[in-house]
Amino acid sequence: MIYSYTTHITTGPNGAILRFRNTEDQDATVLGAIGGATIVHVPDGVTMPAQPAEIGWAQVTLSDADRTTLSRTSPVARRIKERRDKAMIGGVIVNGISIATDDLSQQRITGAALAAQIDSTTTVQWKMPDSTFAVLDAAQITGIAQAVRAHVQACFDREAELLSALFSGEPYDIETGWP
């Protein structure tokens, strides 16, 4: 579930600050702030302690604009992006050939694929992770480029799934489900 609250500062000489009370296990996750309200993800099954009335603790549904704002500013969204990047550079195996998928390798594969599309007789000597070379023809180059693109897209798809779960208040696991 997604909740919001506002910080309440009492008047007086000490000016006490009231914020939400988390569970003892720190189950709730602060996602960020929108329009002066702090947004909190509370997993299903977690019972939060009673909250001070002054903070306006309430269950909310995030708008698309709110989700966009939080996807740019939330520390949890940042961790999801970092995990996506880690998965993205993890590489793929295409017909028994190990292919790197870091940004530079993607650029090189794209260039080779473009050459293969322009000239179907193109061949390249592709350096493998074990420092050997393999001769690849245009069809193999194109197949590798398609596999790398599918891998990259699967990483973005998983990120989108996690962000949707996060901002809908559904359970999520940043470490699982990646290609």
173 within some domain? no
21: Cβ–Cβ under 8 A, 6 or more apart, which residues? Answer: 48, 49, 50, 51, 52
pLDDT score of 26: 64
- My answer on whether 54 and 115 are in the same domain is no
Identify whether 108 is part of a domain. Answer: yes
**54 and 111 share a domain?**
no
Q: Which two tokens stand for residue 153?
A: 């897209």
Within-domain flag for 176? no
Q: Would strands 2-5 and 37-41 be described as parallel, antiparallel, or unpaired?
A: antiparallel
Q: Are residues 34 and 92 in the same domain?
A: no
**pLDDT score, position 154:** 98
* pLDDT tens, N- to C-terminus, the chain (179 residues): 899 988 877 776 666 666 777 655 567 888 999 998 999 998 888 888 888 888 889 999 999 999 999 999 899 999 999 999 999 999 999 998 899 999 999 999 999 999 999 999 999 999 988 899 999 999 999 999 999 999 999 999 999 999 999 998 888 999 999 99
Kindly state whether residue 174 falls inside one of the protein's structural domains.
no
Q: Is residue 127 part of a domain?
A: yes
pLDDT, position 54: 84
Residue 113's pLDDT is 98
Whether 79 maps to a domain, the answer reads no
Note the pLDDT of residue 115. Answer: 97
pLDDT score for 30: 87
pLDDT value at position 22? Answer: 66
64 and 92 belong to one structural domain: no
* pTM (two decimals): 0.82
* Pairing mode, strands 123-127 and 97-99: unpaired
Domain assignment present for residue 160? The answer is: no
- What domain count does the chain have? 2
Q: Are residues 62 and 6 in the same domain?
A: yes
| 66 and 91 inside one domain | no
Six-digit token pair at 17? 């600050």
Residue 112 host element (H or E): helix 103-118
Task: Say if residues 70 and 38 touch (Cβ distance below 8 Å).
Answer: no
Domain with 120, as residue range(s), is: 87-155
Query: Of the residues 49, 73, 97, which one is the last residue of a structural domain?
Result: 73
170 belongs to a structural domain: no
